[in-house]
Structures are given as C-alpha cells and as structure tokens.
Amino acid sequence: MSTNTKIALVTGGSRGLGREMALNIAKKGLNVIITYNSRKDAADAVISEIEQLGQKAAALRLNTGLIALFDDFFSRVQDLLEDKFAAEKFDYLINNAGIALQSPFAETTEEAFDELINIHYKGVYFLTQKALPFLNDNGGIVNISTGLTRFSYPGVSVYASAKAAVEVATRYMAKELGNRGINVNVVAPGPVVTDFGGGGMEDNEQMQEYMKSITAIPRIAYPKDIGPVVAFLCTDEAKWINAQRIEVSGGMNL
Ligand SMILES: NC(=O)c1ccc[n+]([C@@H]2O[C@H](COP(=O)([O-])OP(=O)(O)OC[C@H]3O[C@@H](n4cnc5c(N)ncnc54)[C@H](OP(=O)(O)O)[C@@H]3O)[C@@H](O)[C@H]2O)c1
C-alpha cells in the first residue's frame, strides 16, 4: 500500500496562515492533512477548497497544548493515512498552530506562562518527536516562529521566548534528523492580517501606518505573503535549505 503523492500535515490549518499554507501546499500537488482546535466548520471549508484544487485533504482535531493526547492523535493520523490516503506515512510536518496571549512581563501569571509554553514550545517539541515514526525519510519539517524573536515589543515575553526556543530546537532537529534526509527550517513571519490575537490590524489605520513606517517594503502583510514560502519548503527544490530561520516580514525593523 503506497502512494507517490506526498502528504503534508499542517497544524492549525483551518484558518489564517495555516489555511494559506495548506492551500499553497496543495497547489504544489501534495495531499494535505490539516488540524483544527475548535473551528471544525473552518477546517471543513479548507478541505473543500483543497479538493477543488484536485488534491486529497482531511482534518483532525488537535490541541497542541495537550501533550498527553499526542499518542492518540497519531493513532488517528495512522488510521486516516491508511483509509483516505492509501499511505503509511506522511512527508512534511508544519508546526503552525498557535495563540496570541499578551501579557506584560511584570504581570505574567504562571498559568499564562504554562499555556503559552505548552502550545508554542513543549507541544511543538513533542508533536515533532512523536511524528517521527510516521514521517517518511527525505521529508521535511517547518516550524513557524515570529519576527518577535529578532525585535522586541512589550507584552510578548513568553510568546517570543517560546518561539525562540523553537528556533534553537529547529537547529538541533536538523542536526539529529539529517541522516534521514529530513530538513528542518523555521519561517518567522512579521505581523500578518489574520484573526491572531483577536485580529484588528485590517481596520486599524494607525497601526497600519506604523507597520508601514518600520517596514522596508511599506505595506501590511496578508497570509498569501507567507503560505507560498512554506509551500516551497515542502518541495524537493528546497531540500538543501536546512536549519535556517527564514524571516518573512517585508524587511521589518532593519
Ligand atoms: N498573524 C500574525 O501576525 C503572526 C505573526 C508571526 C507569527 N505568527 C504565528 O503563525 C501561526 C498561525 O497564526 P495565525 O495568525 O494564522 O493565527 P489564527 O488566524 O488565529 O489561526 C490559528 C490556528 O491555530 C489553531 N489553534 C489555535 N489554538 C490551538 C491549540 N491550542 N491547539 C491546536 N490548534 C490551535 C486554530 O484552530 P481553530 O480554527 O480551531 O481555532 C487556527 O487553525 C502561529 O504559530 C503564530 O504564532 C502569526
């Protein structure tokens, strides 16, 4: 039982950046599994869009902050691979799912800290570890970070630290998985118009003007600025890119 069409698994592929990643990966001729946390309706819509592109797609529920449920998740992935994709393994893992939680350093609670670290670091670490038996050799991993690991704004110390930890872990993953032909990279977007953190950028002229003033290419960013970059990393053409942090921010805060 095998299929030649490669398969990517995009966490948080139901909305925002993950949705655009999933669609662009499908445009490259891959089949796609997306995960959602609460919005099954949004996930179903993405599946329809991918199927209209002529690729296979499916969605599974996953909370990337609940590490104890990852074994169950991968047994569902295994069933799905067999039933829907006639495959035993997948080829690319995109660790994209996440939440925005603003919390000034002096006021950050242990609860908020744990939630952000679980979703943005511990979850990424162990989801990737537990994905390894199901990931084909010569596949790839893309971890989504943020421009906020290079430049700093108040209120995101835990979020940005967790992403920074993922960036370092990415280098170690690349080092330790390279003998399987697996490349591992980070894509670090600048601010993008999505629902992230309650959205708001699209309607906030003042914020837009500020973003433009600090960005070499003076405009705000949309998911279509990010999705194709991640999709490129899910191709053989990008195989020699390894252990890199690719910032996709239009040149912010240079
Ligand atoms: N937007 C930005 O400005 C920006 C900039 C830099 C980096 N990023 C990073 O890009 C990634 C995607 O952000 P986005 O802007 O696309 O956010 P978004 O529009 O809010 O979408 C978030 C996605 O993640 C899923 N999700 C949320 N919490 C989850 C959890 N606990 N477990 C599993 N899935 C969960 C959501 O599922 P449901 O649909 O079911 O809720 C949704 O699919 C995040 O890692 C974020 O840190 C975003």
Please, what is the average pLDDT of the chain? 96
7-248 CATH fold:
Rossmann fold (3.40.50)
Give the domain ranges of the chain. 7-248
Q: What is the mean pLDDT of residues 105-123?
A: 97
Tell me which of 11, 64, 101, 194 to substitute to probe ligand 1's pocket, judged by most ligand atoms within 8 Å of the beta carbon.
194
Which residues are CB-contacts of 176 (< 8 A; sequence separation ≥ 6)? none
* Tokens linked to 25: 């990966």
Residues written for the chain: 254
Q: How far is the CA of 251 from the centre of ligand 1 (A)?
A: 22
pLDDT band at 1 (very low <50, low <70, confident <90, very high): very low
Q: What is the mean pLDDT of residues 192-199?
A: 85
Q: What is the mean pLDDT of residues 241-253?
A: 98
SS3 141: strand
Could you tell me what percent of the chain has a pLDDT over 70?
Answer: 99
Rounded CA gap, 167 and 179, in Å?
A: 20
What is the structure's pLDDT at 108? 97
What does the pLDDT look like over 138-166, one tens digit per residue? 999 999 999 999 999 999 999 999 999 99
What separation in angstroms does the CA of 3 have from each of 7, 138, 139, 141, 229?
9, 15, 14, 20, 25
Rounded CA gap, 18 and 50, in Å?
A: 13
Residue ID of nearest Cα to ligand 1 atom 7: 146
Least confident stretch, 42-46, 101-105, 250-254: 101-105
pLDDT band at 197 (very low <50, low <70, confident <90, very high): confident
What DSSP designation does 252 have? B
What does the pLDDT look like over 34-76, one tens digit per residue? 999 999 999 999 999 999 999 999 999 999 999 999 999 999 9
Does pLDDT of 2 surpass 80?
Answer: no
Which position has the token pair 């999505």?
A: 194
**Nearest C-alpha neighbor of 194 from the set 163, 223, 224:** 223
What separation in angstroms does the CA of 218 have from each of 63, 188, 206, 208, 251?
36, 18, 14, 10, 9
- Rounded to a whole number of angstroms, the distance between the first and last alpha carbons of the chain is 50
Q: Is the CB of 39 under 6 A from ligand 1?
A: yes
| Strand ranges in 18-124 using DSSP code E only, listed in sequence order | 31-36, 57-61, 90-95
pTM of the model: 0.98
Does pLDDT of 198 surpass 90?
Answer: no
* Tokens linked to 170: 């990415």
Which position has the token pair 């499916």?
A: 58
Residue ID of nearest Cα to ligand 1 atom 42: 12
Which position has the token pair 């529920």?
A: 61
pLDDT band at 222 (very low <50, low <70, confident <90, very high): very high
Is 92 considered catalytic here?
no
